[in-house]
Amino acid sequence: MKRIFKPGLLIPVAIIVVLAIWPLFSGNSASSREAMFTLIMSMALASSLNIILGYTGYVSFGHIVFFGIGGYAGFWAITEMGWHILPAALLGGLVAALIAWLLGLAVLRLRGAYFALATIGILEAMKALVINLDFLGGPVGMEMHFSEYKRYGGPMESLWMVYWSMVFLAILVVAVSYFVKTSKFGLGLMAIREDEDAAEVMGVITPRAKTWAYVLSAVFPGIIGVLFFFKNGNIEPGDAFRLHFSIEWIVMIMLGGAGTVLGPVLGGGIYQWLRKTLLTSPIFKDYQLVVAGVMLLLIVLFVPTGIIGWVRARSAKLRRIFE
Amino acid sequence: MGNVLFTSAIDGLLIGVIYGLAAMGLTLIFGVMDVINLAHGPLIALGMFGVYLLFTLLGLNPFLAVIIVAGLGLLLGVVIYFVAVNRVIDAPPLSSLLSTFSVNMIIIGIGTAMLSTSSYNVDYSLGTMDLGFFKAPGARIAASLVALLTTALLYLFLYRTRPGKYIRAVANNRISAELMGIPSTRILALAFGIGVMLATVAGGLIATILPINILAGGSYELKSFVIVVLGGLGNPLGALIGGLILGLIEGIVPVFMKTTWVPVIEYVLFVLILLVRPQGILGAKE
């Protein structure tokens, strides 16, 4: 129990909770709920990716593949099998985890840039495959009938239900991220990041540790994919497997600090907030991609450890508070 | 059937040479400095629009325009190297992947704001070449020939000139090359510039035969990844052969099944080769 009441875990959870209840107090609750959904979803996705990317040092460039696979599995269960959203979401996570496990056994043998390339290849292969699968709707994807929402008491109620599920998941992801980081398992992962051969010599069973890290980082995007596409009402290959989105998650992680618990939460929040501000500003709305690109370049060149990494390197006191 | 197969194969090979040229730019940069240039696609697109603008605004012959685009591409590559790559050249792979990706975002951002994502066309034709058993648009054949010529020039440069030999020395062992008095930073910048130049030339050649848009480079970037892995990362000649193989696949597969299966086959092949034979089918980089 002692591990739970540490600031390293409480701070990111508190950030998520404060953001999550914001729509209840703001005047326009529907629009602020949508904004917070995007924010909290980004935090959860970035934190999941951080387990394989930040802790283990394996750059999964095409990580959105699990978001898409989970989304498709859950969406199919809802529309074709008539499942309730919650078991469908779990199914999405399970399918994503299973595929991550199978893929992980193969591709985690690759290191460095080769692994990054392989994940891009897997993403594109999966996208091209789904386009050819007629039972998943092929290139146009699948749509959900509006009456589906009646089951949950109407569209309004379903949106709130998805919202609170998302908040719960985000807290769960952050907790998992924290417990991985402070566990012996996480120490093994970080040893792999620093020097995989040395870690192996020191007794870390690297193939097993890497595979579990990959599965852990895939299961949540799988679940989140189902929630996202259920809320969306339709799913198509272009949205489900967009390489650009998974690179955005990497930007969030880098912004906040790779390999930290708080970093992806902070980075996801700041990135989405900035994006929203840029999109609505008259000067920058056409150039938001340029601004994001320049920002990424500056971080990579000058603050490669991200905000939290930078703070931790400079203050011993804050190092004890921020994980 | 035999005839259809033959024509599709030739068609595939003609475009395959250009794929190979684009991939050569990617593989040269990787071979010399272990950097995967994620701005490759947008740079191909810049080459396309360079030729398009020179052709429509100045009325220049597209094949002459390609030469100007090549020069601009070299310059741009050197600039990108010093801005985005030089600082992270010794950092872990994530840094250079992200810094080149940020260049990708900047180019695409400016490009979509100025040109939108709609399709453009270089309205240029060299008639149809008819060899009796085989017909192809003249521009397509000319583009393939230019691509082959560029490859030959690259090889002459790398093997017969002093800067070319410097590049190969730095690729082999940067520290030893520095000890021999080779200015490695400048050579790395030159190699990056040449890699970018090849990408823009390939883009320019594509513009003479196919419609273009600012995002079109993305699909050629992915093809370049597949080709580069087929031919072995860091091996320019392998890239040419990989390009021909990919072109053949794209030419022949649609004869037997739906075109939409082509990318499935390509990417599965890509991942399998990475897993089974990461040094590529032609062997390791030197």
Is the confidence at residue A78, as pLDDT, over 90? yes
Give the nearest partner residue to A300 out of B98, B109, B112, using CB atoms.
B98
Q: Give the Cα separation of B26 and B229 in Å (integer).
A: 11
Which chain A residues touch B if contact means CB-CB below 8 Å? Answer: 53, 57, 59, 61, 106-107, 109-110, 112-114, 116-118, 120-122, 124-125, 128-129, 131-132, 139, 247, 250-251, 254, 258, 286-294, 296-297, 300-301, 304
Q: State the Cα–Cα distance between residues B1 and A273, nearest whole angstrom.
A: 58
If one counts every other C-beta atom within 10 angstroms of the C-beta of residue A253, the result is 26
CA distance B50 to B39: 16
What string of DSSP letters covers chain B? -HHHHHHHHHHHHHHHHHHHHHHHHHHHHHHHH----TTHHHHHHHHHHHHHHHHHHH---HHHHHHHHHHHHHHHHHHHIIIIIGGGTTS-HHHHHHHHHHHHHHHHHHHHHHH-S--B-------EEE-SS-EEEHHHHHHHHHHHHHHHHHHHHHHHSHHHHHHHHHHH-HHHHHHTT--HHHHHHHHHHHHHHHHHHHHHHHHHHS-B-TTTHHHHHHHHHHHHHHH-TT-HHHHHHHHHHHHHHHHHHHHHS-TTHHHHHHHHHHHHHHHH-TT-TT----
pLDDT of residue A216: 96
> Which domains, ranges and CATH numbers included, belong to chain A?
7-321 (1.10.3470)
What letter would DSSP give residue A133? -
Give me the residue label for tokens 């007794």.
A203
Give residue A323's pLDDT: 78
Average pLDDT over chain A reads 91
Q: Using a CB-CB distance cutoff of 8 angstroms, which residues of chain B are in contact with residue A288?
A: 109
- Asked whether residue B74 carries a pLDDT value surpassing 90, the answer given is yes
Mutate to test the interface with B, among A61, A124, A248 (most CBs of B within 10 A): A124
User: Where is mean pLDDT largest: A22-26, A302-306, B81-85, B265-269?
Assistant: B81-85
- Percent of chain B clearing pLDDT 90 (strictly above): 62
B68 touches chain A (CB under 8 A): no
Contacts of B226 in chain A (CB under 8 A): 121
CB B4 within 8 A of CB B252: no
CB proximity B87 to A under 8 Å: yes
pLDDT number for residue B22: 95
- Structure-model confidence comparison of residues A52 and A25, the more confident one: A52
B169 vs A: CB within 8 A: no
More reliable by pLDDT, B236 or A28: B236
Instruction: Please identify which residue in the block is written with the tokens 């020097």.
Output: A195
Q: How far is A118 from chain B (nearest CA, A)?
A: 6
Kindly state whether B117 is in contact with chain A, defined as any CB-CB distance less than 8 angstroms. Answer: no
What is the predicted pLDDT for the residue at B213? 92
Q: What is the pLDDT of residue B81?
A: 97
Query: Using only C-alpha atoms, what is the Rg of chain A?
Result: 19
Per-residue pLDDT tens digits for A79-98: 999 899 999 999 999 999 99
B261 touches A at CB < 8 Å? yes
The residue of chain B nearest to residue A58, with distances taken between CA atoms, is B94
ipTM of predicted assembly, 2 dp: 0.86
What's the gap in Å between the CA of B150 and the closest CA on chain A? 27
Point out the residue among B101, B104, B274 whose CB comes nearest to the CB of A121: B274
Average pLDDT over residues B87-101: 88
Chain A, nearest residue to B115 by Cα: A286
Within the 123-152 window of chain B, which residues sit less than 8 Å (CB to CB) from chain A?
Answer: none
Q: How many angstroms separate the CA atoms of B23 and B13, rounded?
A: 15
CA distance B132 to chain A (A): 37
DSSP A261: S
Residue A293 and residue B99: Cβ atoms within 8 Å? Answer: no
Query: What does the pLDDT look like over A140-196, one tens digit per residue?
Result: 999 988 888 888 888 888 899 999 999 999 999 999 999 999 999 999 999 999 999
Mutate to test the interface with B, among A279, A297, A302 (most CBs of B within 10 A): A297
Task: Name chain A contacts of B87, Cβ cutoff 8 Å.
Answer: 301
Q: Which residues in chain B are contacts of A113 at CB distance < 8 A?
A: 30, 34, 36, 93, 97
CA distance B17 to B250: 13
| Cβ–Cβ below 8 Å for B109 and A287 | yes
- Taking all residues of chain B, what is their mean pLDDT, rounded to a whole number? 90
**pLDDT tens digits along B151-202:** 999 999 999 999 999 999 999 999 999 999 999 999 999 999 999 999 999 9
How far apart CA A207 and CA A203 sit, in angstroms, is 12
Q: Report the candidate in B221, B251, B214 with the shortest Cα–Cα distance to residue B41.
A: B221
How large is the average pLDDT for residues A230-236? Answer: 92
| pLDDT on residue A317 | 81
What pLDDT sits at residue B71? 97
pLDDT for A2: 62
pLDDT confidence of residue B278 = 75
Q: Residues 208 to 237 of B: which have CB under 8 A from any A CB?
A: 222, 225-226, 229, 233
A57, B92: Cβ pair inside 8 Å?
A: yes
Q: Which H or E run contains A1? A: none
Residue type, position A68, single letter: G
Query: Is A274 a residue whose pLDDT tops 80?
Result: yes
- B222 CB neighbours in chain A (<8 A) are 120, 124
Whether residues A129 and B88 touch (CB distance < 8 A) is answered with: no
State pLDDT tens for residues A100-151. Answer: 999 999 999 988 888 988 999 999 999 999 999 999 999 999 998 888 888 8
State the smallest CA–CA distance between residue B109 and chain A in angstroms: 5
**Predicted confidence band at B285 (pLDDT cuts at 50, 70, 90)?**
very low
**Are the beta carbons of B222 and A301 separated by less than 8 Å?**
no
Return the pLDDT at A3: 66
Partner-chain residue, chosen from A53, A110, A304, that has the shortest CB–CB distance to B278: A110
Q: What is the mean pLDDT of residues B227-238?
A: 86
What residues contact B50, with CB distance under 8 A and at least 6 apart?
B65, B68, B69, B72, B73, B200, B203, B204
Largest distance between two CA atoms of chain A: 59
CB atoms within 10 A of CB A279: 11
Give the pLDDT confidence score for residue B280 in this predicted structure. 72
